[in-house]
Amino acid sequence: MVDRSARLPTEAEIAEINARHLIETPLQPADLLFVFGTREDVGERVDEACRLWSKGYFRWSIVSGGITPGSNRSECEIIAEVMTARGIPADRILREHRAMNTGENVIFSLPLIDAALGLKNIRSVICLGNTWTARRYPMTLQRHWPEVEKMLVMVDSFKTPRALWHTDPEFRRRILFEWDKIEPYKAKGFIAEWPVN
């Protein structure tokens, strides 16, 4: 895949990304919060997980993410530790420590969720991740776990408002890089269309 993330998007592409990639879903209480691992904006991710917990938006969570270059601790360990320190009970956080990408986040987490909770008992999931990756989280879940209802919550530390992502060079680069993965990943069967109309 050619990296075209340095391009300036057209007005039509900006509108399409805003409408199809940066999807705002109505939020309602869910059975599970799926926290996708990251090295970027960990604080923002934990803040949002804690906010959702305090408002009763989930009963269980899973944090998924392996050890990335330059660290001797998994993304899961780092994120889950702070979530616990901030008041989310440790026994409500399932942990997956091996995943190195979004596909592995889901593939490696599903057996853990099934063993602990039973996949059939989970009807709704809130996906929590970076703004720029956006709908690729629920699209990956849709590919491997189509039965469950999916909601999307995005976080980032950019000062630029989400709708104006294209005006910030780094925000624009990250979103275009992820947006350009969608069709090739669908063609390879890594992800499935979401939301399903």
Cα(37)–Cα(76) distance, integer angstroms: 6
Cα(103)–Cα(20) distance, integer angstroms: 20
Q: Is residue 195 part of a domain?
A: no
Q: Is residue 145 part of a domain?
A: yes
Asked if the peptide bond before residue 195 counts as cis, ω within 30 degrees of 0, the response is yes
Q: What is the span of the domain harbouring residue 144? A: 12-153+161-188
> How much is the pLDDT for 120?
96
CATH value at residue 90: 3.40.50.620
> How much is the pLDDT for 197?
67
The CA–CA distances, whole Å, from 52 to 48, 65, 86, 100, 160 equal 6, 20, 12, 25, 23
pTM for this prediction: 0.95
Q: Is residue 124 part of a domain?
A: yes
Pair 96, 112: CB distance under 8 Å: yes
Which run of H or E residues covers position 24?
A: none
Number of compact structural domains in the chain = 1
Q: Is residue 194 part of a domain?
A: no
Per-residue pLDDT tens digits of the chain, which is 197 residues long = 677 888 999 999 999 999 999 998 999 999 999 999 988 889 999 999 999 999 999 999 999 999 988 889 999 999 999 999 999 999 999 999 999 999 999 999 999 999 999 999 999 999 999 999 999 999 999 999 999 999 999 999 999 999 999 999 999 999 999 999 999 999 999 999 998 76
Pair 65, 98: CB distance under 8 Å: no
Q: Is residue 50 part of a domain?
A: yes
Distance from chain centroid for Cα 114? 20
Backbone dihedral angles phi then psi of residue 63, each to the nearest 5 degrees:
-110, 130
Q: Is residue 3 part of a domain?
A: no
Q: Is residue 196 part of a domain?
A: no
Q: Is residue 4 part of a domain?
A: no
